[in-house]
Chain A
Amino acid sequence: MNPVWRLAAKQIRSQWRRSDWLTLMLSLFMMITLVTLLTTTSDRLYQSLTAQSADILGADLVLRSHSPIAADKLLQLQTLQLKASIVTQFISMAESEEASVLSTIRAINNPYPVRGKITTEPSSHPAIPASGSVWVDNSLLSRLELKLGDTLLLGYSEFLISHILLDSPDRGSGFSNFNPQVIMREDQLQATGIIAPGSRANYRLLVRGNKQQISQLQAQWKGQLSKGQRLINASDDSQLDGSSVANASRYLKLSALLSLLLGAVAILLSLQRYSSDQRTRSALLLSLGMTPRQLLYIYSLQLFVGWLAAALLGTLIGLGLHQLIANQIGDYLPNIASLSPLSVFTSPLLALAILFILGLPTLLPLGKVSILQMLRNEKQLSTKRWHYVSCAALLLVAISLYMGSILLASGITLLLLVLGSLAGFSAQRMLVFAVTKLQGRIALAPLLKLRLRQQRHWHKLQAGVFSLLLAIMAVLFFVRGDLIEQWQSQLPKDSPNHFAINIQPWEKDRLQQWMLDQQIKAKLYPIVRGRINQVNNKPVKQVLSTEQNHTRALHRELNLTWQTQLTDANSIIAGSWDPLIAGVSIEQGLSESLGLKVGDTLGLSIAGEQLVTPITSIRKVNWGSFKPNFFLIYTPNLLEQFPSTYITSFNINEQQRDKSTLLVKTFPTITLIDIDKLFKQAQDIINKLADSASVVMLLTLFSGILMLFTILQQELAQRRYEGALLQTLGASERQTRQLDLLEFLLLGATCGSIAAIIAELLLALMSARLFNLPVIAHPLLWISLPIIATVTFTLIGNLVRSKLSLSQCYGLLKAG
């Protein structure tokens, strides 16, 4: 065996129990475990979410159009060998001999769907309905009192009901997807006579492809869209945005970034301690004829082996923990994606990069250690300032690669660096101030003053890192709390779990009475449909920019309503709501997309007529309230002249289950949407996500404590030396202990207070920018952080310092 290898092997074996090496390994292991857990979980959540989104859409990319889709598009896809299909969807009456129900009908071609699958009863079914037959929702059968094998009338054609639709993707958007659904063959559509020129129908081109093909296609088609056409990408962030799962995924990713930063700092500090202790050894090896290159080789090998051990163990435990979480939430995520190898290897590879990025600049100076070190006991560290700068820069690159966004990673890293430096500087000033105030009041004050002067550089670093660490932990804790609160507040106990739509004006009073009789609380909202076509009396195309003209709300009919009093899901953020002053209140997001403000006028085309109204207020809407919400709410007396229907939402509890069936029987033309099942699933997944967030929180907390140990262990030797010196000069062991404790106490209190300020700032920033949560103050933080910091610092400080007898003191001083 090569002697250098042999020495490396012996060195690795003998050094693995050194406390500085162990701290390094533990930091590395914690970082790998945490980042593996967070990366895999976040990645899998996101993948599942995308897959789920594709399954709901029935495709990876959908081209939606109000007019028939040109056949050449389909041909183009066929030449590219992409799976694609065209669907025509429309609303029509489905009839039996006795009754008729408003239904949403899909006329499809083979293949269908291109993603996800249709579940029917009986379970085996051909690719598309056989000629002359249709597949229908169960609710249609019960409303029409039909069964499998009966005949259904659509337009002029009669169809055999061959299958019951249990589940199907591509149900369409808007309210139409809540109507009972019917699937038929497209080649039999013409015979029904339902679709004639001018008929309202939706056309969809469904495409299946890999990520690259889809984005190419999307980019190509984007410029060719005609009026009334829209492209929907299943993996588009906007499809997933705002959902609790997307927020959870973001929370995990953010936790991963913070774990990376924590780990990187812990690794840097323990590496420095390690390399400083290796100086004499390096000098000896150099004096024995080893070249700097061989020396660096030995240390790199040792780092690599250390990494390998930490990576194996960390990845395994990280994956184990991930599996636990995946098992918990897997039931609630249909199509839980398989674990991507990239997400498994990201963490260990990133740790390797960080270890060498931080390790090489720290270990390189070992090759230049002077053999003089052996003659004189030189302790000076030769790590230069540029090393830290290059470390920070390289670290940033690594983190950017991981986050996939240089901007986000550099923003966060820069912010933390600036905050850390500021915190360190302020803490040191505050400590000096506190000790000045203590002069003359306590006996140890002069010694404490000296200690602060000796340790000032170290205090800056210690306080900077610790304040940041505490702030980050607090942020993770409170963001988790805020998120869970937001998730749960989305679903209060008596949230409506049913929607009723298509309520005709003549049924309104009878329905209200029926609800009253059944003791169901429900408020009915009128709906009038209209399309925005003017802003400040000019056509939207002229007034708005190209980007604004792409706003979705401009390309479809909006549901409008009128109210006397706004519901509690609406809060006015500009202007005012006065039902006596004619005007319209616009939703905040829409007003921002269109650049509208209070005082502008909005023109809508409603049932062929033009209605121009001034905007009197802008509202923030809680879209998750499970109540009917509207982009535009008019004051009374403006919309009443137009044809309207009504909508309502209400809660039916377990004991009232039969009332939904009764409602549909009593009012056959009403469309009833049961969201109770969805609601329960959402509640469950939120609880599971909250549990997962707690696991993440606990693990991050543990790595935080580990880092505190690392910080306090730095310069421990010097502290012991000083303590020994003081004791031999006449101080008692009790006094040196008190001095240490006083120092830790002050440091802890200072760090805690600074951490509270940083945490509150970060929380506000993240709530507003990242999670779309309201910015609130956290009084608990201001009380708890200083207390926690003081107690932790004092406790851990006490743990790492050891009692010295006088004879030990002499020994220590003699050894130099």
Chain B
Amino acid sequence: MQSVPPLAIDAQRLSKSFPSSTTGSLDGDISLFSNLDLQINKGESVAIIGPSGTGKSTLLSLLACLDTPTSGSVTLSGVDLNALGQEQKAAWRAKNISFVFQSFHLLPELTALENTQLPLDIQGTKNSEQQAQQWLQAVGLEPRVNHFPAQLSGGEQQRVAIARAFVTQPTLLFADEPTGNLDTNTGDKIIDLLFNFSAKTQATLVLITHDKHLASRCDRMFSLADGQLTEAVN
């Protein structure tokens, strides 16, 4: 009998609510969403769309095990991260998960190359410089490897961030509004890179966005509204 490979992300009956003391409400806890189920296969790309304040970023943080749900569970590649200790959790995350943020978040004192090799250095990987160089070449920044973030445009900075995200060859990539700070033309190029690399490395991509057009490029698209997650037809 052939065994079924575990899902990249398996979220079961996820709920998240906030105590009223943090919101100032007197009517008990505030529920953002409850009993959400989401299964994402390996290598799949999934977009989560929805209006502001519906909890997209919170859902992403739960899926990436950055936050703990009020109830329900999340397993990543069959591993329950919440059952691991702090150090093990950090190590697993470093090896398997990468993020791409809206605001690039590059360290200003490091060059493009150093920013890219940083996660490998933290993990103690050999040949980090070589690998980082290859990824910067892949994102088209070879001539600018020794430039500092302040010397790069917004699009170039996001390309460095993408190179940094892929350099560890993650199995899971979370991108939160990766084009939010870029113009449409540059944004499209960045998205092309994200999809190409995800496909090439068979990484699972979870994309949070407002942009329906962008979301439609993913294998599947979910909409989060009024605490409900519904799969939208592409």
Contact = CB atoms under 8 A, between A and B. Distances in A.
Nearest to B177: A375
B102 to A, nearest CB: 8
A4 to B, nearest CB: 7
B138 interface: no
A375 to B, nearest CB: 4
A292 B93 CA distance: 14
A3 interface: yes
B66 A372 contact: yes
B83 interface: no
Given A15-B109, A371-B66, A289 B123 contact: yes
Contact of B105 (A4, A7, A284): A284
A348 B99 CA distance: 43
B107 A284 contact: yes
Interface string A1-18: 001101100110111000
A294 interface: yes
A284 B149 CA distance: 15
A289 B124 contact: no
Nearest to B111: A10
Contact of B107 (A281, A372, A374, A375): A281
A376 interface: yes
B91 interface: yes
A738 interface: no
A288 B119 contact: yes
A289 B90 contact: yes
Which of A287, A370, A376 has most B Cβ within 10 Å? A287
B99 A10 contact: no
Interface residues of A, number: 27
A520 B168 CA distance: 99
B156 interface: no
A333 to B, nearest CB: 51
Contacts of B121: 3-4, 6-7
Contacts of A287: 99
A286 B176 CA distance: 17
A6 B146 CA distance: 16
Given A10-B109, A11-B109, A284-B105, A371 B90 contact: no
A280 interface: yes
B93 A289 contact: yes
A695 interface: no
A571 to B, nearest CB: 65
Nearest to B148: A14
B122 A288 contact: yes
A658 B32 CA distance: 102
A294 B176 CA distance: 26
Which interface class (under 10, 10 to 19, 20 to 34, 35 or more) fits B? 20 to 34
B122 A294 contact: yes
B79 interface: no
B67 A372 contact: yes
B61 A375 contact: yes
A685 B205 CA distance: 79
A291 B87 contact: yes
B66 to A, nearest CB: 5
Contact of B122 (A13, A290, A376): A290
B90 A286 contact: yes
Contact of A371 (B95, B99, B108, B109): B99
Interface string A498-527: 000000000000000000000000000000
Given A288-B118, A288-B122, A289-B119, A374 B110 contact: no
Contacts of B118: 3, 7, 288
Interface string B91-106: 1011100010101010
Nearest to A280: B105
11 contacts: A7-B121, A11-B107, A280-B105, A286-B90, A288-B94, A288-B118, A289-B90, A292-B90, A374-B101, A374-B176, A375-B57
Given A375-B60, A376-B57, 17 more contacts: A3-B121, A3-B128, A4-B121, A7-B110, A13-B109, A15-B109, A284-B105, A288-B164, A289-B91, A289-B94, A292-B86, A294-B122, A372-B61, A372-B67, A374-B99, A374-B103, A375-B101
